[in-house]
Chain A
Amino acid sequence: QVQLQESGPGLVKPSGTLSLTCAVSGGSISSNNWWSWVRQTPGKGLEWIGEIYHSGSTNHNPSLKSRVTILLDKSNNQFFLTLSSVTAADTAVYFCARTQTTSWNVGYFDNWGPGTLVIVSS
């Protein structure tokens, strides 16, 4: 069973950069899966941030694209999220997740990390 675990600072200052790591265990990040970041706020609910494939290809939510970078480290089986120029609106629980894709190209998040709360405040 694949397990994911987010880590990173729980407090980021406004205008700073949020940086999170997702460690993957029980499976390879080089498998035929996309790896995603999703966040959750009381106000906006669940919001997909973006995803990365082991080739390095990425897709992003256009609402965040200019501020988001997603990278991966195959040697350590982990992937990363950076979100720049953060404001209080970026305060959220951040989840990493694996996308499973069916033969007819339906993708769904079948494994999630427990989530990590990031607060943007001075």
Chain B
Amino acid sequence: DIQMTQSPSSLSASVGDRVTITCRASQNIYSFLNWYQQKPGKAPKVLIYAASSLQSGVPSRFTGSGSGTDFTLTISGLQPEDFATYYCQQCSSIPFTFGPGTKVDI
């Protein structure tokens, strides 16, 4: 299985901050990487697919980059509704696997 790691596991930020979350895969996954946001008691919501493509309806302050084994999710200008947990997920090979998550709070 491809192992996904994320850093940091949690971070504290303020409204307006620029936040960067890192995801690393245990082997080359090219651009087969997705990012999700999850709020308590809710299902995950896709933000970015294929490493850098913005899902329809997602604000442009969310950007994804990277390829191979190292990826980043950046939130430029954190908004109150962005306080949540963020997960990366590889779709390069079965079983699809998720990172452990990064919790963004105040």
Contacts and interface: CB of A to CB of B under 8 A. Distances in A.
Contacts of B43: 95, 97, 112-115
Interface residues of B, number: 25
A114 B45 CA distance: 11
B41 to A, nearest CB: 8
Contacts, number: 62
Contact of A59 (B1, B94, B98): B94
Interface in A54-105: 59-63, 95, 97, 100, 102, 104
Interface residues of A, number: 23
A113 to B, nearest CB: 7
A63 B96 CA distance: 12
Contacts of A59: 94
Given A95-B43, A109-B44, A47 B98 contact: yes
Contacts of B1: 62-63
B44 A104 contact: no
Interface of A: 45-48, 59-63, 95, 97, 100, 102, 104, 106-110, 112-115
